Amino acid sequence: MRIPIIGGNWKMHRGVPKDAKEMLEQLIPLVKDLKNVDIVIIPPFTALSVVEYVKGTNIKIGAQNMYFEEKGAFTGEISPKFLKDIGCEYVILGHSERRDIFKESNELINKKLKKALSIGLKPIVCIGEHLEEREQGKTKDIIKSQFEGTFKGLSKEDINKVVIAYEPIWAIGTGKTATPDQANEVHQYIRELLSSNYDKELSENLRIQYGGSVNPSNASELFEKENIDGGLVGGASLEADSFAKIIKVTQI
């Protein structure tokens, strides 16, 4: 059985530790009794100190990005080792905002991914198509090339530790959600890629989250789909109440 995972990607919001703590103060009691769900809060780097605050709770902390080297002259970059050493468990890699705005390539994400795995961080790897690509019927081609480029050279043991987030770019921060069937179809396709590149057992066990305007009203129809194992949530993860409602959907 795949345990659903709900990530709250705060992007460039709530980056002051006090603001992050305020949200967590409200979230912790709302979700403390929930079982069989992994809850991850992914704040900006400046608020990662909340790892201390959530100790002993069922909330884990992730980072939004990292570099592929551990130390050196890389001004402005963040070492995966620092993340690991402060108690960060997860890291998002290949978010579409990194791919599009900061021009991160599959090759770069692949390097980061291999490094994250070697350090013991759990990667949440995002893939997804643009609207024009979907409209031109190229969704599967894009997913395949991102899959092959991003996961190149990964052993079965390594990919087993990855969470994949399918995030259609046209649905991120736009209020437009993929329909449950549209999302499920791509998740199914990702499982086919996992099966052909690795094996069936792995494809059935790996968690694939959906991301793109998930909110308390649409979460249940998405999460009840066979191939969808929770969500990566942006806007609706900023307030404790709405994020808790989304997490609770996994308990039904």
The catalytic residue among 129, 133, 167, 187 is: 167
Closer Cβ to ligand PEP, 87 or 216, answer by number: 216
Q: 70 catalytic, yes or no?
A: no
Q: Which long-range contacts (CB under 8 A, 24 or more apart) does 240-245 make?
A: 240/23, 240/24, 240/26, 240/27, 240/30, 241/26, 241/30, 242/215, 242/216, 243/6, 243/8, 243/27, 244/27, 244/30, 244/31, 245/216, 245/219
Q: 95 catalytic, yes or no?
A: yes
- Per-residue binding string, ligand PEP, 171-210, x by CB under 6 A, is -xx-------------------------------------
Which of 68, 234, 246, 250 forms a contact with ligand PEP (CB under 6 A)?
Answer: 234
Q: What is the number of alpha carbons within 13 Å of residue 146 lying toward its C-beta?
A: 26
Q: Establish if 120 lies at the interface with ligand PEP (CB under 6 A).
A: no
Residue nearest to ligand PEP (CB): 234
| Least distance CB 104 / ligand PEP (angstroms) | 15
Which of 233, 244, 247, 249 forms a contact with ligand PEP (CB under 6 A)?
Answer: 233
Closest CA to 69 of 118, 29, 105: 118
Q: Establish if 235 lies at the interface with ligand PEP (CB under 6 A).
A: yes
State the residue for tokens 């770069």. 108
23-31, 148-156, 166-174, 194-202 -> range binding ligand PEP (CB under 6 A):
166-174
Q: Establish if 212 lies at the interface with ligand PEP (CB under 6 A).
A: yes
The catalytic residue among 95, 97, 129, 133 is: 95
Binding site for ligand PEP (CB under 6 A): 9, 11, 167, 172-173, 211-214, 232-236
Catalytic machinery residues: 95, 167
